[in-house]
């Protein structure tokens, strides 16, 4: 267990052989400590995408299940010490991607909820607007789901169709996101190609 290794870890451990600026050292240590804390909140799948060294990965997995007490703090200090020994820039970059993806998923969820509520409340008016933005959508299926969801509300039945409507709209938004990501990727590749030509 990692705990045996960090148990005797000195509270005032120095991560630098040369002491440049004491304030800067404290900031760097605090940043690495916060990085360890942030990684401890990731899901196992997300954590695996960071490609961490085995020692750090094992420690982060262990700390994620620990209560907020002294042992957790000592293990986070140990993780900060290990992080100081490697280049953390790629880890930070991957973390940013995970956070952006999570933020995008939350926005997608809220947008799908808003569309579902509008479609049920406004009917054809909102549907026309949705189809203008997403001409690939199946208008017949959407109309059926809207009618069923409205009936469920009127008869106080469980919102089965409302859930299906939300799921359909969310898939539309996700497909739009994938298309946009592909377009952005193509644009980046094209830009990189012309930059290479300029260098020739």
Q: What is the DSSP string of 45-114?
A: HHHHTT---HHHHHHHHHHHTS-SSHHHHHHHHHHHHHHHTS--HHHHHHHHHHHHHHHHHHHHHHHHHH
Has residue 189 been placed in a domain? Answer: no
* 136 close to 179: Cβ distance less than 8 angstroms: no
Averaged pLDDT for residues 60-75: 87
Place of tokens 């949705």: 130
Averaged confidence pLDDT in the chain? 82
- What confidence category does residue 192 fall into, taking pLDDT thresholds of 50, 70 and 90? very low
**Same-domain pairing of 111 and 37:** no
Find, among 37, 28, 39, 42, the residue nearest to 68 by Cα: 37
| Total domains present in the chain | 2
**Same-domain pairing of 65 and 44:** yes
Has residue 200 been placed in a domain? Answer: no
Per-residue pLDDT tens over the stretch 113-128? 999 999 999 999 999 9
**Same-domain pairing of 138 and 161:** yes
**Same-domain pairing of 61 and 109:** no
d(CA 35, CA 31): 6
Buried b (16+ CB within 10 A) or exposed e, 68-86: eeeebebbbbbbbbbbeee
Per-residue pLDDT tens over the stretch 169-189? 999 988 875 444 444 444 445
Domain that holds residue 146: 100-183
3-class secondary structure, 9: coil
Q: What CATH number should be reported for the domain holding residue 178?
A: 1.10.60.30
Averaged pLDDT for residues 4-15: 50
Has residue 8 been placed in a domain? Answer: yes
Of 88 and 16, which is predicted with more confidence?
88
User: How far does CA 29 lie from the centroid of its chain?
Assistant: 25
Has residue 199 been placed in a domain? Answer: no
d(CA 16, CA 122): 64
Give me the percent of the chain exceeding a pLDDT of 90.
54
Has residue 149 been placed in a domain? Answer: yes
């Amino acid at each position: 267990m990692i705990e045996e290794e960090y148990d005797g870890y000195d509270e005032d451990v120095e991560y630098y052989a040369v002491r440049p600026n004491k304030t800067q050292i404290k900031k760097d240590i605090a940043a690495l400590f916060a990085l360890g804390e942030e990684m401890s909140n990731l899901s196992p799948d997300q954590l695996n995408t960071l490609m961490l060294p085995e020692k750090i990965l094992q420690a982060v997995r262990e700390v994620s299940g620990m209560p907020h007490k002294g042992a957790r703090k000592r293990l986070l200090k140990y993780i900060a010490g290990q992080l100081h020994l490697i280049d953390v820039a790629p880890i930070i970059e991957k973390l940013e991607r995970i956070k952006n993806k999570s933020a995008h998923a939350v926005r997608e969820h809220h947008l799908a909820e808003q569309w579902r509520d509008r479609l049920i409340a406004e009917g054809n008016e909102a549907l026309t607007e949705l189809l203008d933005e997403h001409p690939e959508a199946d208008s017949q299926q959407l109309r059926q789901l809207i009618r069923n969801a409205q009936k469920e509300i009127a008869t106080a039945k469980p919102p089965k169709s409302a859930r299906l409507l939300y799921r359909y709209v969310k898939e539309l938004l996700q497909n739009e996101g994938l298309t946009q990501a592909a377009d952005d990727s193509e644009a980046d590749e094209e830009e990189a190609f012309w930059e290479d030509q300029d260098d020739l």
